[in-house]
Chain A
Amino acid sequence: MGKLVLYRLGFAIPQLLVVSVVVFSLTYLVPGSPAAAILGVSATPESIALVEEQLGLNRPAGERLLEWFGGLVQGDLGTAYRSGLPVTEMLAQRIPATLSMILGGMVVAIVIGVGVGVYTGTRPGTKADRLLTGGTVLGIAIPEFWLGILLTTVFAAQLGWLPIIGWVPFTVDPWGWFVGLILPSLTLGITGGAIIARQTRASMVRALAAPYTDTLTAAGVPRWKILYQYGVKNAMVPVLASIGVVFAILIGVSFVIEKVFSFPGLGSLMLTSTIGQDFPVVQGVVLFTATLVIAVNLLIDILYGLINPQARPA
């Protein structure tokens, strides 16, 4: 097992390194000067030069990259151009809301996805299967932003069951945190759940069509045991991979729908920082999300190896 973890880590670390360099380099491709963006209409060539010097933007790219890496290994992502705050502090303020939303969405997605996938996968061709599988197409097709507005209109505006101003930190009010997460989690989870459901259904159908199920049936193993002990376990191997993909998708979607639910997450920080050319913040957000995706995929790879010995390194 340790070998598997080391093996996967061996892939993850270079990935992070490449992402870091790409993230830093991308900011050079953005046209315009951060100094001009900060100065606004009063910018003159002289004042732009002065601010660029103050921000260190006039130094060679290699020197800045090395400095950035130096800070990075010490957990220092630099200072925001506009607020003057450490980027790590700004991220720390926003990460709880984003992570809460993504985790809530993942829970909903897995419950819906695995539940519907197993149900339909054990009943291929039935009316229920056709209905639910059709529903998953709808789930994938619905724009999350619109779904979020629809859910708030119904459950917050019309029924008044849930609040619009949803975000409360868990440490402040655990119940408020939970209630505030319901609508964002549903919005995120429905699409993710539809993706997982389709993968689960296909895997279940394949697993139950395998020769071993006939052997088990002939050996007198009860149907429920064949389905849930053997079928589901085998079907979960490819489903795990789809969960990793869905996680990455949900990160991106959460950046968009946090606006609908007024969640103070990384999405709005990313947007305002991009527009304001606050590159240290942009780099921090992108690096964090990339690290998160890599970490989750690392975890899934490890789980994958755990339940599927064939996937372990020789």
Chain B
Amino acid sequence: MMKTTRFARLAVPVAAAALLLGACSSDDPAEDSSDEPTSTTTEDAAPSAGGQVAGSVLRANWGGFPENWAPGAEMEAGYMRVPYENLTKLGDDRKPAPWLATSWEQTDEALTLELQPGVTFHDGTPFDAEAVKVNLELIKNTPGPYAGPFQVIDSIDAVNDLTVQINLSAPAPSLLTTLATRAAPMASPAAIADGSIAQTPVGTGPWAYDEAASIAGTRMTFGPFAEYWGDAPGFETVQLFAIEEDNAASTAMINGEIDVTDTELDQLSVFEEAGTFETIAYPGIRNNPMFFDRGPGGMFEELEVRQAACYAINTQVVADLDPDVTPVSQHFAEGEQGYNPAITGYEHDLEMAETLYSQAGSPAVEGDWLSTSFNNRQISVYAEQLGELGFNLTVQEAPPPQYFSEWNAGAYPIGLGSNDELTPYDWYQSWFAAEAPGNPAGVESDQLKAAADAAIAAGTSEEADDLWAEVTLIISEEALTCAHIQSQELIAVNTDTVSGAAAPSEPWETVLINFRDLRPAGS
């Protein structure tokens, strides 16, 4: 299964949880309306009860293992969700909900979290405010794609054992969401201190890593954690496997060697033939072109040129080539903050594109478009479509390392990337704010800035949703990006051995399943 491709897709992705809050400044602090603290609490933060089946083993294959299990290192949720838990999780409404933090209070200056009592890490270390401080500081200081959103943390105070105060240098309306993501699992401070966390995950989850029952590189076994603070899940043990090749994974499923695997569309017929398998599809990574050269004198400076490009691109062609892909009108899906039903996207219309381009004076649009192995075909299709409009974009294919270093660094007028920022705040800060790393031209319209400032000022209040929807609408109207597509993730489950499988509630994750809801079939 092309772990190469997956790896490559992911290197850019998720990151976002991300980006630099350094820019998070609301220009006028007086406008910040979130001085009024917002708070949440819940009585029951524990996972739902199930009744554990003694001796049951769930065998899941995600095609590899993380290189490093430390918080702040790149780690997909399919692995992380076995030993680790976060301070918050995303609820059904996609809003932060309690987990290891039972309640919180947020202002522009600080986020104060009350922690779940009676929680210990797998190595016996208590989970307390000091542990949270150690974890967040580690994530903030670890070079990597997740550190960005944590730069807004000025300092962390352990107020008492179960209260931690995160002092902010700027308003951070998406911090609670970021705390729910793969960016911020809580690991044992003792394991962090001695460095063993890189190879030996030590979290607070219901399954603890069992090195003796594992085979390096092949199988990681996580046995039941007797001191787990919440309800025990259905499976007593979880084993993770690293079968990278799709055919091999399908064969292992049919052979009964594994129960769950990440898979691809071309394997569906194999499972259909074999019978007792269920496949779960859910939206995964999304991508879209970005017009980088939109500064003064840039080839995409004119709105009409960008809009013309958007109308000229026909995402359906890509979808026809790759059934894994679905064209969508905007970056955020319905139900997510930032989604705006008024955004209809730019449906392919070459005539309209030509009219707009002509209105702009048909300026020369010539340059290179950097691609790599996993997106070369898509970019080539787009470049050809833009060629029909008169653009002369040459697709340059680079090895993945070069691509990741250069595609959005400002050397190319246009790029195609996976923007998997979970919140409109992070998306804006990553790509569209004047100081955003993904905005090498450094330009931003007054209208967009004003709208974003208002949304940031709204903090985590109810009105923030509408304000961020306004921001994403402006981004669409200004054609700063368009041609959004969404890929589909597929998970195959052996229904002879596993019941209760469903798509994960966490968006944007490429390999994941609802581990805690799963039960041995028939139990």
Tell me if A39 and B11 are in contact (CB < 8 A): no
Q: Which residue of B lies closest to A85 (CB)?
A: B198
Task: Give the chain B neighbours of A94 by CB distance below 8 A.
Answer: 217
B121-153 near A? 1/0 per residue, CB < 8 Å: 000000000000000000000011101100000
Tell me if B247 and A149 are in contact (CB < 8 A): yes
Tell yes or no: B389 within 8 A of A by CB. Answer: no
Task: Give the chain B neighbours of A43 by CB distance below 8 A.
Answer: 405, 409, 437
Tell me if A30 and B402 are in contact (CB < 8 A): yes
Tell yes or no: A25 within 8 A of B by CB. Answer: no
Tell me if B3 and A268 are in contact (CB < 8 A): yes
Tell yes or no: A255 within 8 A of B by CB. Answer: no
Q: How large is the interface on B (under 10, 10 to 19, 20 to 34, 35 or more residues)?
A: 35 or more
A84 to B194, CA, bound (A): 13
Task: Give the chain A neighbours of B255 by CB distance below 8 A.
Answer: 156-157, 160, 163-164
Chain B 14-43 residues near chain A, CB threshold 8 A: 15-16, 18-20
Task: Give the chain A neighbours of B243 by CB distance below 8 A.
Answer: 164-165, 262
Q: Which of A3-11, A59-67, A244-252, A273-281 contacts B (4 or more CB under 8 A)?
A: A273-281
Cβ-neighbour of B408 out of A41, A167, A172, A271 (below 8 A): A41
Tell yes or no: A142 within 8 A of B by CB. Answer: no
Q: Give min CB distance, B174 to chain A, whole Å.
A: 14
Tell yes or no: B244 within 8 A of A by CB. Answer: yes
Tell me if B244 and A262 are in contact (CB < 8 A): yes
Main SS class of interface, B: loop
Tell yes or no: B218 within 8 A of A by CB. Answer: yes
A268 to B252, CA, bound (A): 19
Cβ-neighbour of A261 out of B248, B258, B398 (below 8 A): B248
Q: Give min CB distance, B367 to chain A, whole Å.
A: 18
Tell yes or no: B518 within 8 A of A by CB. Answer: no
Q: Which residue of B lies closest to A93 (CB)?
A: B216
Known interface pairs A42-B437, A262-B242. Does A36 touch B404 (Cβ–Cβ under 8 Å)? yes
Tell me if B406 and A264 are in contact (CB < 8 A): no
A295 to B68, CA, bound (A): 33
A260 to B145, CA, bound (A): 30
Tell yes or no: A83 within 8 A of B by CB. Answer: yes
Task: Give the chain B neighbours of A308 by CB distance below 8 A.
Answer: none
Known interface pairs A165-B257, A172-B215. Does A268 touch B64 (Cβ–Cβ under 8 Å)? yes
Tell me if A42 and B147 are in contact (CB < 8 A): yes
Known interface pairs A82-B67, A149-B247, A262-B242. Does A37 touch B217 (Cβ–Cβ under 8 Å)? no
Chain B 261-301 residues near chain A, CB threshold 8 A: none
A-side interface residues, number (CB < 8 Å): 54
Tell yes or no: A15 within 8 A of B by CB. Answer: no
Q: Which residue of B lies closest to A176 (CB)?
A: B215
Tell yes or no: B358 within 8 A of A by CB. Answer: no
Cβ-neighbour of A262 out of B8, B67, B70, B245 (below 8 A): B245
Q: Which residue of A lies closest to B418 (CB)?
A: A41
B365-399 near A? 1/0 per residue, CB < 8 Å: 00000000000000000000000000000000011
Task: Give the chain A neighbours of B247 by CB distance below 8 A.
Answer: 149, 152-153, 260
Tell yes or no: A97 within 8 A of B by CB. Answer: yes
Known interface pairs A42-B20, A157-B251, A157-B254. Does A277 touch B144 (Cβ–Cβ under 8 Å)? no
Tell me if B248 and A260 are in contact (CB < 8 A): yes
A268 to B19, CA, bound (A): 30
A265 to B64, CA, bound (A): 12
Known interface pairs A41-B417, A168-B215. Does A264 touch B15 (Cβ–Cβ under 8 Å)? no
Tell yes or no: B168 within 8 A of A by CB. Answer: no
Known interface pairs A167-B218, A276-B11. Does A264 touch B242 (Cβ–Cβ under 8 Å)? yes
Tell me if A272 and B67 are in contact (CB < 8 A): yes
Tell me if A40 and B404 are in contact (CB < 8 A): yes
Tell yes or no: A240 within 8 A of B by CB. Answer: no
Tell me if B145 and A40 are in contact (CB < 8 A): yes
Task: Give the chain B neighbours of A277 by CB distance below 8 A.
Answer: 401, 405
Chain B 391-440 residues near chain A, CB threshold 8 A: 398-406, 408-409, 417, 430, 437-438
Tell me if A275 and B145 are in contact (CB < 8 A): no
Tell yes or no: B73 within 8 A of A by CB. Answer: yes
Tell yes or no: A107 within 8 A of B by CB. Answer: no
Known interface pairs A31-B402, A37-B404. Does A42 touch B218 (Cβ–Cβ under 8 Å)? no
Known interface pairs A39-B144, A43-B437. Does A275 touch B217 (Cβ–Cβ under 8 Å)? no
7 closest A-B pairs by CB: A264-B217, A32-B405, A40-B145, A36-B405, A40-B15, A164-B252, A31-B402
25 examples of A-B residue contacts, CB within 8 angstroms:
A31-B406, A39-B143, A40-B144, A40-B145, A40-B404, A41-B15, A41-B18, A41-B430, A42-B16, A42-B19, A80-B67, A84-B68, A84-B195, A85-B68, A152-B248, A157-B251, A165-B219, A165-B257, A167-B215, A167-B218, A260-B248, A262-B248, A264-B218, A272-B67, A276-B401
Instruction: Please report B residues at the A interface, Cβ cutoff 8 Å.
Output: 3-4, 7-8, 11-13, 15-16, 18-20, 64, 67-68, 70, 73-74, 143-145, 147-148, 195, 198-199, 215-219, 241-245, 247-248, 251-252, 254-255, 257-258, 398-406, 408-409, 417, 430, 437-438
Q: Taking A44-B20, A84-B68 as given, write out 11 further A-B residue pairs in contact, using a Cβ cutoff of 8 Å, ordered by the A residue number.
A: A31-B399, A32-B405, A40-B15, A41-B19, A42-B15, A42-B430, A84-B195, A157-B254, A165-B258, A260-B247, A261-B248
